[in-house]
């Protein structure tokens, strides 16, 4: 069974890919070339938001597209060096 640790593990893998670049998709997104890495990541998030909206309207692939959006949001957090703990604390604060 999947638990909340999966998000933490993915976050840590993304940090490792940032700090120890490989030929992986995520490492390449975080590396600058003619487009800045931030622009590439933000563009990808925009694509994923659009895909999720379309999936929701068509009532298909909503989970898949949601995971893509969450994944790329985690990638942005890693790139910006925002710790996952800060996001979780903000969720906790809003829950009260």
Domain-wise residue ranges, the chain: 5-95
Encode pLDDT of 22-78 as tens digits: 999 999 999 987 689 999 999 999 999 999 999 999 999 999 999 999 999 999 999
Secondary structure of the chain in the HEC alphabet? CCCCHHHHHHHHHHHHHHHCCCCCHHHHHCCCCCCCHHHHHHHHHHHHHHHHHHHHHHCCCHHHHHHHHHHHHHHHHHHCCCCHHHHHHHHHHHHC
**Residue 27, pLDDT score:** 94
**Residue 2, pLDDT score:** 66
CATH 1.10.10.10 fits 5-95, yes or no: no
């Amino acid at each position: 069974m999947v638990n909340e640790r999966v998000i933490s593990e993915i976050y840590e893998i993304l940090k490792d890919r940032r700090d120890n670049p490989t030929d992986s998709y995520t490492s390449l997104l975080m590396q600058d070339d003619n487009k800045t890495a931030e622009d590439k990541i933000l563009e990808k998030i925009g694509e994923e938001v659009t895909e999720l909206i379309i999936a929701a309207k068509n009532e298909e692939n909503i989970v898949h597209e949601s995971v893509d959006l969450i994944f790329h949001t985690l990638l942005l957090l890693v790139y910006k060096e925002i710790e996952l703990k800060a996001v979780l604390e903000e969720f906790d604060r809003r829950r009260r």
